Structures are given as structure tokens and as C-alpha cells.
Amino acid sequence: MPSLSQKILAFNNSLKYTSPLPKGIGVMNPFSGDEIKRVTRLFYNKYYGDTKPRYMILGINPGRHGAGVTGVPFTDTKRLTEFCKISINGFSSHELSSVFVYDMITAFGGVKKFYSRFYINSICPLGFVSMDKYGKQKNYNYYDSPELIKSSKGFIISSIKSHLKLGFKRDKCWCLGSGKNFKHLTLLNDEHKFFKEIIPLDHPRFIMQYRLKKKDEYIAKYLTLLK
């Protein structure tokens, strides 16, 4: 029987976005490239190399400095090296959401305990980027424009269905982002009955950017809701 790690890696490798995109928006695949594939193989084999079902925690879509660099959602290169003991060659990244997530994981009991119970990915497992007036790429969320919401809906539905077939628990799901992300996931869930219950969590970036002084309070809230 294939391990959960094998199923996750096969899922990541199968992802393709074929829907038309709004003008000025591009797709970012965080799972492409030989080094990324090496790193993700090490990560998932280390923490998901069994057949035990986990609960899903779903973010928005991958960002350029987290999964966009490491291939592991909400994990930058610093956290990957420090906490997971996996080094990545040729890349370096520091991402605010990753800082919060790994502080929370530490409070939960560490990476081994956390990843034995939970699996983090995104509602839309591929990322999007836009170009600013200076020609610099910026992160773009699937819900940032009505056009992209419409374009990405079929891909998102298909991805969640494919994800669930890997063997994740369906009685509960946690949503990273208690605003628009939770709203859109709830609408999709009402239509397709992915999960019995969706529990919103304030997004790590929001906490680090706007509520940093209350970070410990948010970590305690996460632990309460996750346990």
C-alpha cells in the first residue's frame, strides 16, 4: 500500500493549471525543479512515510517566499533547516507566516508530533503572481479578482477532491484565513460537502504583520482550536 508521502508527492507532481488567466496574472508552481523535488521528497518521507490519515489545514495559495522557495507550504528555508533538519541548496528565504507556523508547531509539541496529526497545504495548491509597475513580481491570491475566482474555481474543486482521495480525515478541516479564504472555502463546501466542519484560523501573515504583540495569544488560540 502506498504511503501518504508517496501519494502527496504524486499529487504535487500532477498539478497543472490550464484555465485562462486574467491579464497580467501568472501561475507559480512551487513543486517544480530538481532541488525542490529532492527537498519535498525528504520532507514528506520524513513526516508522512506511513498510512495514517491526517487532518487538513488549508491556506490560500502558495507564496513566493514560503512554499514558492521550498515546496513545503508555510515553510521557508530557515525553518526547513532549523526545525526539519533539511537543507536546501541555492535558495534562502525568510517568510513571516512560516515564523508563526513553526512557533506554533513548537508550542504544540514539535514537528514530529504536529505532522503526525496534521497536513498543511492550500485551497489552491498552485500560486499566482502579478507584476507591479516596476516589473517586480508580487503574490496574488486566488480571490483577489472576480476573474481569477471564476478561472480558478474548477481547478480548486478538482484539487480538493484529489487531495481528499489521498486519505485525509473529512470530519474537520482548519482554514488559514478567517476572512475571504474562509468565506470562499465555506461556499465551496456548502456546494460539494468536502468536510463536515470547517474551523477558521486567523492567517499567520495577518498575525505577524498586524498583531505581532499578541502573537502568544494567537498561538494559544491555535492550540485550543487544533486540539
Query: Which of 33-47, 105-119, 127-141 has the weakest average pLDDT?
Result: 127-141
pLDDT digits (tens, 9 = 90+) for 149-178: 999 999 999 999 999 999 999 999 999 999
More confident residue, 100 or 94: 100
The CATH number covering residue 202 comes to 3.40.470.10
Residue span of the structural domain in which 19 resides: 4-226
Checking if the pLDDT of 94 tops 70, the result is: yes
Strand partners, 198: 173
* Helix, strand, coil in percent for the chain, rounding step 5: 50, 15, 40
Number of H helices, E strands in the chain: 10, 7
Q: Per-residue confidence at 121, pLDDT binned at 50, 70, 90?
A: very high
Percent of the chain with pLDDT over 90: 85
How many structural domains compose the chain?
A: 1
Over residues 213-217, mean pLDDT: 97
Asked whether residue 142 carries a pLDDT value surpassing 70, the answer given is yes
